Amino acid sequence: MRIKLDENLPTCLVADLGPLGHDVDTTHSERLDGLPDAAVWDAAQKTRRFLITQDLDFSDARRFVPGTHCGLLLVRMGAPGREALAARVRELFQIEAVESWVGCIVVATEIKLRIRRAPTPPSAG
């Protein structure tokens, strides 16, 4: 999976997710830190990357309609220390079928995972 880490995620995840077969870059490496969300989103979509962020602005499924983008993971933790964030993302990428998240909005907390997929069209017949 091609991944972009937003500036609010620990960069150690580049080294953690790479050995799992993922191509990971960061907003920092592209000098996108501090830019508006639209710039981060556009950069992720232009390079066909799945965005991982903590930014609630990306949670609006009306704006980021599942099935119309490369996908995003919104990590929402009660105590989002950098090590806890990294541990939760590492865990998800080790135990979940993350490849099935392409095009989805995924929200992860410490204990829950919610996946919003593109609606399936009704079957003909």
In the prediction, which pLDDT does 119 show? 82
Full pLDDT tens readout for the chain, 125 residues? 999 999 999 999 999 999 999 999 999 999 999 999 999 999 999 999 999 999 999 999 999 999 999 999 999 999 878 999 999 999 999 999 999 999 999 999 999 999 999 887 766 65
Residues 6+ apart with CB under 8 A from 28: 7, 11
The DSSP bridge partners found for residue 23 are 2
Residue 2 tokens read as 């091609």
In the prediction, which pLDDT does 53 show? 97
In the prediction, which pLDDT does 80 show? 72
